Amino acid sequence: MFKVLVSDPIAKEGIARLQTEAGNIQVDVKTGLPKEELLKIISQYDGLIVRSETKVTAEVLKAATRLKVVARAGVGIDNVDVEIATERGVIVVNTPGGNTIAAAELAFTLMLAISRKLALANNTLKGGKWERKQFVGVELMGKTLGIVGLGRIGTEIARRAIAFGMKPLSFDPFVLPAYAEKIGIEMVPLEEIYSRADFITVHTPLTPETHHMVGKEAFAKMKDGVRIINAARGGIIDEDALYDALNSGKVAAAGLDVFEQEPPPSDYKLSRLDNVIVTPHLGASSEEAQVKVAVDAAESVIAALNGELVPNAVNLPGMSKETLLELRPYMLLAEKLGRLATALSDGILRKLEITVHGEKSPNNAHLLTAATLMGLLKDEKSDEPLNLVNAGYVAERRGLEIIDSCTELEGQYSGRTISLKVQSDGNGIANNFEGSVINGEPRIVRINGFPLEVAPLGYLLVSRHNDRPGIIGKVGTMLGEHDINIASMDVGRRSRSGEAVMILSIDDQVPATVVESLSKVDGMQNLRFVNLG
């Protein structure tokens, strides 16, 4: 029998779901445990459910000798040492879908409230005044709503906007128009959101690129009297610029649930404005959301303990230790091949064909496909959850067609060989890639049919060039002139004096100006700098 510890308060429905597995799972609810007590008892448990109070540190994980899964009833996993958990084969899951509706409804509530001036009307009536004339608002019907970021929450807001008779526009570089059109959303550039929308709501992650993306310049491009909602992340909107835009009348009203500093200071200037509604980060604060995240966490623990793949795993899906050890180098290889394919392709990726040679298990092949997609779809500018479980969903949402297969017939190398073929809107350097594991280490063994053997790690310079004397020497000389060291080199060709592919492993990043100069070497067809990490 498995034992599960619930160490933070969760909705009773989550406990009840675990208790339905009474023949297989024993549930202990012990909240508010001191660290020393948790360390003393954690070795008894196979599963752990937490919210944000319990700190699942490296020390706790090392003491948890039986632990198979940690479930966070919520989204943030800052209180879990995911790296150590992964090293120890412990699955870490969160429940991002549980608060989608709650967050979408709150954002929509803010939009309704600012459009009809409800907060101020409420306050004046409670103050003994009956002032109808000053609270004439605007209808949502017929208005244009700009949604910046079309993930789960943005999509739900769009559906509600359509029901209210609004025209939803959206900007999201990772969503294809075909996906949005099915819902009734028009995908447009960000500048067009600013110029056309009557209401704008932001639903992007907070990254260096999105920090203050809605600022003074953005407000200047908007309609006079636009209304702004932020129930996503504090810092996406420049609060000083918003304050000025509200005072000038450029922005008619704003509804804010998140802030750059939480809680905001007592003299927070935006909260003093009559045309601003503020709420204390209530996006996930609904009874239903609390139930959903608790039940989702319980379901994840049950699935993990039963050896099933777990939705919303943030590190690895459930599998036997033996399978994990066997597949681990191939999973790394698959992810690196995916990243390489993206780096060497141009335009939007449309199709991926992947074949795993020397593999008889379709489940293992699907897992390697998911690992490939993690590399293929990875974007450093996005904090969208992307893992082995949801990679297929993300690919579908981006309109990527996937064909995967496996065959027991081995390729050129013993063991498994992973073959990728990608199709995109552009040309790039290559669209066919093969890799294998040689002496326990992942290797790129073929690019567009050119034989190579390169470790898919770190900084690489990849070129396609005419196979003639002097080109490789010029590249080496130019790198040396910029104090850039070459760690290793491999060149693949099919015939003498034809076309060749070269991969250089580089010790340091290569500046864009140097890459541009190398690309102009006579006989060079294409050259890319790639960081595979």
Contact (Cβ atoms closer than 8 angstroms) between residue 296 and residue 11: no
Q: Is the peptide bond before 205 cis (omega within 30 degrees of 0)?
A: no
Q: 319-455: what fold?
A: 60s Ribosomal Protein L30; Chain: A; (3.30.1330)
Share of the chain above pLDDT 90, in %: 65
Question: In which residue ranges of the chain is CATH 3.30.70.260 found?
Answer: 458-533
Q: What share of the chain is helix, strand, coil (3-state, %, to 5)?
A: 35, 25, 40
User: CB within 8 A of 335, min separation 6: which ones?
Assistant: 371, 372, 374, 375
Set 88, 196, 212, 281: catalytic member: 281
For residue 409, pLDDT over 80 is answered with no
Q: Which amino acid is at 121?
A: A
The token duo for 400 is 């990527």
Nearest to 442 by CA among 323, 315, 533, 313: 533
Give mean pLDDT, residues 285-304. Answer: 93
Lowest mean pLDDT among 64-68, 224-228, 292-296, 363-367: 363-367
- DSSP classification of residue 223: P
What is the band of 456 on the pLDDT scale with cuts at 50, 70, 90? very high
Compute CA distances 307 → 303, 310, 326, whole Å.
Answer: 6, 9, 17
Please tell me the predicted confidence (pLDDT) of residue 72.
94
d(CA 187, CA 251): 23
Mean pLDDT of the chain: 90
Averaged pLDDT, 184-211: 94
| Of 36, 132, 262, 408, catalytic | 262
Q: Strand order in 167-171's β-sheet?
A: 186-187, 167-171, 144-148, 199-202, 226-230, 251-256, 276-278
> What CATH number does the domain located at 118-274 have?
3.40.50.720
- The pLDDT of residue 74 is 84
pLDDT at 97: 82
- Which pLDDT value is given to residue 151? 87
Average pLDDT over residues 444-450: 91
pLDDT given for residue 317 in this prediction:
54
* 464 has catalytic annotation: no
State whether residue 517 is helix, strand or coil.
helix
Residue carrying structure tokens 């632990």 = 67
Task: Give 194 or 134, the one with higher predicted confidence.
Answer: 194
Its CATH architecture, for the domain 458-533, is 2-Layer Sandwich (3.30)
pLDDT for 406: 87
Distance from CA of residue 387 to its chain's centroid? 8
Query: Is the pLDDT at 172 greater than 70, yes or no?
Result: yes
Residues of the chain with CATH 3.40.50.720: 2-96+289-316, 118-274
Residue 425 neighbours by CB distance under 10 Å: 10
Q: Is the pLDDT of residue 483 over 90?
A: yes
In this prediction, residue 427 has a pLDDT band, given cuts at 50, 70 and 90, of confident
**Tens-digit pLDDT profile for residues 12-41:** 999 999 999 878 999 999 999 999 999 999
Report DSSP letters for 255-321, one per residue: EES--SSSSPPTT-GGGGSTTEEE-SS-TT-SHHHHHHHHHHHHHHHHHHHTT---TTBSS-----H
For residue 38, CA distances in Å to 61, 81, 204, 295 come to 11, 16, 36, 23
pLDDT > 70 in the chain, percent: 95
Rounded-to-integer distance, Cα 279 and Cα 105, Å: 13
pLDDT of residue 444: 93
The mean pLDDT of 67-79, rounded to a whole number, is 88
| CATH fold for the domain made of 2-96+289-316 | Rossmann fold (3.40.50)
Q: Is 405 exposed, middle or buried (0-12, 13-18, 19+ CB in 10 A)?
A: middle
- 262 given a catalytic annotation: yes
pLDDT at 428 over 80: no
Query: Of the given ranges (233-242, 398-407, 476-485), which has the lowest mean pLDDT?
Result: 398-407
**Following CA atoms 254, 258, 259, 260 in sequence, which dihedral angle do they give, to the nearest 10 degrees?**
-130
Crossing angle for the helix pair 100-116 and 152-163, nearest 10 degrees? 50
- pLDDT of 412 strictly over 70: no
Q: Which two tokens stand for residue 302?
A: 């049950």
In this predicted structure, which of 39-48, 404-413, 482-491 has the lowest mean pLDDT? 404-413
Report pLDDT for 284.
Answer: 83
Check whether 68 has a pLDDT greater than 80.
yes
Under 8 Å between Cβ of 60 and 44 = no
Structure confidence by residue, pLDDT tens digits, 147-165:
999 988 999 999 999 999 9
Instruction: Estimate the crossing angle of helix 287-305 against helix 100-116, to 10 degrees.
Output: 160
- Pick the residue with more confidence: 519 or 394? 519
Residue 318 confidence (pLDDT) above 90: no
What is Dmax (Cα atoms) for the chain?
Answer: 92
Residue intervals of the chain classified under CATH 3.30.1330.90 are 319-455
Per the residue annotation, which of 17, 152, 233, 357 is the catalytic one?
A: 233
Beta pairing partners, 441: 438
What pLDDT score does 268 carry? 95
Average pLDDT for 439-445: 92
Q: Are 99 and 283 in contact (CB under 8 A)?
A: yes
Taking residues 497-502, report their average pLDDT: 88
Going by pLDDT thresholds of 50, 70 and 90, the confidence category of residue 407 is confident
Assess whether pLDDT exceeds 70 at residue 83. yes
pLDDT tens for each residue of 350-367 = 899 999 998 877 778 888
* Rg value, the chain, Cα: 27
Residue 402: the pLDDT is 92
If one compares 439 and 320, the residue with the highest pLDDT of the two is 439
Q: What angle do CA 251, 256, 258 make, to 5 degrees?
A: 135
Q: What is the pLDDT of residue 460?
A: 95
CA dist 506 → 435, 479, 483 (Å): 20, 10, 11
Q: Give residue-wise pLDDT tens across range 242-261.
A: 999 999 999 999 999 999 99
Residue 326's pLDDT is: 83
Does the annotation count 281 as an active-site position? yes
Give the β-pairing of 226-230 and 251-256.
parallel
DSSP characters over 410-472:
--SSSS-EEEEEEEESS--S-SEEEEEEETTEEEEEEETTEEEEE---SEEEEEEEE--TTHH
- Give the pair of three-digit tokens for residue 117: 């001036």
Reported as a pLDDT band with limits 50, 70 and 90, residue 316 is low
pLDDT at 382: 58
pLDDT at 411: 65
Please say if the pLDDT value at position 429 is more than 90.
no
Cα 198-204-206 angle, rounded to 5 deg = 125
User: Which pLDDT does position 425 carry in this prediction?
Assistant: 81
Name the 3-class secondary structure at 361: coil
